[in-house]
Chain A
Amino acid sequence: MDSNTSIVAKLDALVAELLADWNIYTTLIAGGIVAFLVFSFVTSKDTDIHPFLLARQSTAFPVRQPGETAQYRSLETPHGFPLRSGLNVKDPGAPRWTSGRKGDLRDIWKAAVRGTVEEDGRVTGKQGKIYTVLGRKAIEHSLEQVTQEMNVIGSRLQSSKVNTVAICLTDSVELLAAIFAGAFYGLKTIIIPHNLDAESLSTLLKESQAEALIAEAGALDLSLVAKGNDQLSQVIWVAKLGSRHMDWNDVPEDVKGTLEVGVWHELVEAKKDLAGLEVPTWDPSSPTPSVTTVWPSKSSAGEFVEYQPENLVSGIAGLMYSIPRPQRISPSDLVLSIDSLSRSYPLCQIMTALYSNASVALNSVAGESVDFALATVGVSPTVIVASSRTMSDYHSKFMKPHSGFISRFSRWIQVRSLDSGYMPSHGVLNQVANVGPTAELSLDKLRLLCVSHRVDADPEVQLDYEQLADLRILTGARVVYALSGPGVAGAVFQTNVFDYRRFKGASHFGAPLSSVEVVLTEVPKDATIEEGQITVSGPSVISGKTALAGRARIRDDNTFQLL
């Protein structure tokens, strides 16, 4: 008892002695502590996603084959359930409880033309727009207009008994119309990159046995292309706005008689009353023809990858649902693709946008390697689809050299908020950081950046964690980073839109999409880490299963990283 009181008394004396020294500095320091605590409490934010969802992003099957890893799947489609194979299209009048159809390209166009649908199923009919970006100006097209062009071109090709049509155009509304014309009028569509020389184009045409060609007027020497392509019977020129006054109907002497040449805008003008503005009706059980794209290869002009309609819709649905609902492309978005539609990832993203009734902007210069700043000037997009090469070039040319002390400091602060799991807000700080690096960009509304990397692309252009963080900070947009491969519609992997974590080295590619299942094969016998050749199977994969020309490693959070 006695000792007790003495301890208390001693403590009391100690505290009294301590407090006796209280002075103005003490008050200041105490005030500082309180202010700091209040400040950090007020500014603290919830993370955008539960950290556990990033700590394990895909699930492994509990059994594996010898020499392989287990099968990995997206968290959306657990093992034992079917992979995502379609858009789940519900026809009006179908009973509510039935599961929807897989759908195809026609459903996508139909949905785009139908306009937005409310949660309760009411059609409000607000359509998206399609813009063609030419340099600084953007030309607006209504969907009816595109439907009309599609009907004219489709019925012309159909009536001249064409089965296969090759499209060799820059990204434009005509390219989109031609793709949908193929779907509605039963034409096998082959999308050929536009920047090929006549010889490789001729080879590709021969290989594909295309009977019709839609190409840019004046970009090709017809007699050279037609040589050895006896099956070619129809050519439709698409004349640019500036060169429409010219007569493109001229046919070189040597191919006269075998080739019928038409000009897109003249055909549309002549037939538009006949064709109508309505989307043609179709029997949902009838299949659409395949869409073929060209996958660039080092040795030749490229190899054909023929996507069946079910591969495409599965890939499109996989991409669409890989982004959680609040971040998904919505009717208020304007999606700009600065990557060529002849590649499957941008093609599927644009289809996703059309299906979600978003507006779409196509850029005539779009391709794997474009100037990001120049390609985005004409419009103010909310979503941009780009390639890893474009972004990595832009980062090394503009973002890195432009960072001074102030922007470095504000970057440090914003990286802290990324590291704690939420996007930095668009504030003063953000403006300060952006002075310089992105000053010339018109990206005020940008909220999502979809970057894809080809599995066989130069490893140099793979983005690393710091580059991705820079992109998030400087554009103020969230980033998804996908890996695409030949034979897989859409993508194989895509990062979680809320995954801002940073590690060392090149970034991982996230988890498999819900439309595929991934196994790494040829795993070294005594490997301590799981690594091997990427083998993909699922409904978005042509012929069901394919092995990609790339090796990957599975990280501890079940995401995949290229080796």
Chain B
Amino acid sequence: MSSPDSAVPPPAEVMTIASPINLILLSLFVILVYLQLRPKAPVSLPKGPAPVVFRTFTPTTLLPYNGEGNQPVYLAVRGRVFDVTPGKNFYGPGGPYENFAGRDASRGLACQSFDEEMLTKDLKAPLDDLKDLDADQLENLQSWEERFSEKYLVVGKLVAEGDPEAASA
């Protein structure tokens, strides 16, 4: 059944490495090797928020920090200024303690009263020395202060208007 034609082997198809499929696979190989070997930059995390600078406040400079707008909420207890922004619901605008925001809250906390008259009206006056408080009230204040120190950050101190420290700050 063999024809004379078939005796002559067909011309062998030249095997080429440069066929499209080979090129595709080769480039895939190269890409894989590159991906595996390329130098990887070490992982980096985004930088945290910049720390707040400790400041010396006077009653006037403390006033703007009452939580209005996007301001943080600060309040002062016996000369220490606490950042109570995490408790904005209580100390910020509309909260039950909103009168204390941006003010010296020492007397109010000691007397457990959130009224206006607990605050020192005259911002230029010397700081409230709390001399007239009784032992119970002082103890009350002490426990508030401890609570604040546990929960909130001290971001500054409060001095009276005209204090030399205030001028240098």
Contact = CB atoms under 8 A, between A and B. Distances in A.
Contact of B153 (A21, A62, A416, A420): A62
A33 B51 CA distance: 51
Contacts of B22: 21, 23, 25-26, 29
Contacts of A89: none
Interface residues on A, range: 35 or more
A76 B66 CA distance: 36
A64 B52 contact: yes
Contact of A26 (B25, B45, B54, B155): B25
A134 to B, nearest CB: 44
Contacts of A52: 43, 45
A402 interface: no
Interface in A82-106: none
Interface in B45-61: 45, 47-49, 51-55
Given A55-B43, A501-B42, A557-B44, A63 B21 contact: no
Nearest to A39: B36
A60 B43 contact: no
B6 interface: no
B52 A26 contact: no
A29 B36 CA distance: 17
Interface in B92-122: none
Nearest to B39: A419
- From A24, A30, A63, name the one whose CB has the most chain B CB atoms within 10 angstroms: A63
Contacts of B49: 62
Contacts of A70: 51
Interface in A536-557: 556-557
Interface in A1-21: 18-19, 21
Nearest to B28: A33
Given A32-B29, A33-B28, A63-B155, A420 B40 contact: yes
Nearest to A22: B21
A65 B52 CA distance: 9
A19 B21 contact: yes
B154 interface: yes
A134 B43 CA distance: 46
A26 B20 CA distance: 10
A30 B15 CA distance: 16
Contact of B43 (A23, A54, A64, A416): A54
B19 interface: yes
Given A25-B15, A29-B29, A37-B32, A63 B51 contact: yes
Contacts of B169: 66
Contact of A36 (B15, B32, B43, B55): B32
B33 A55 contact: no
Interface in A47-90: 51-52, 54-56, 60-66, 69-70
A52 B43 CA distance: 7
A300 interface: no
A64 B48 contact: no
- From A23, A60, A501, name the one whose CB has the most chain B CB atoms within 10 angstroms: A23
B26 interface: yes
Interface string B122-166: 000000000000000000000000000000011100000000000
Given A23-B15, A54-B43, A55-B44, A36 B29 contact: yes
- From B16, B39, B42, name the one whose CB has the most chain A CB atoms within 10 angstroms: B42
Given A55-B44, A60-B51, A66-B53, A33 B25 contact: yes
A281 interface: no
Contacts of A63: 51-54, 153-155
Contacts of A69: 51
B30 to A, nearest CB: 10
B27 to A, nearest CB: 10
Nearest to B33: A36
A285 interface: no
Contact of A23 (B19, B24, B28, B44): B19
Nearest to B13: A23
A299 interface: no
B8 interface: no
B82 to A, nearest CB: 11
Contact of A55 (B40, B42, B55, B153): B42
Contacts of B167: none
A21 B17 CA distance: 9
Contacts of A22: 21
A25 B14 CA distance: 12
Nearest to A67: B53
Nearest to A47: B43
Given A26-B22, A29-B22, A29-B25, A60 B40 contact: no
B51 A64 contact: yes
Given A21-B22, A61-B51, A54 B42 contact: yes
Given A22-B21, A25-B19, A52-B45, 18 more contacts: A18-B21, A18-B24, A21-B16, A21-B21, A21-B22, A23-B15, A24-B15, A26-B21, A29-B26, A33-B32, A60-B51, A61-B51, A63-B153, A66-B53, A69-B51, A420-B40, A501-B42, A557-B45
Interface of B: 15-17, 19-22, 24-26, 28-29, 32-33, 36-37, 39-40, 42-45, 47-49, 51-55, 153-155, 169
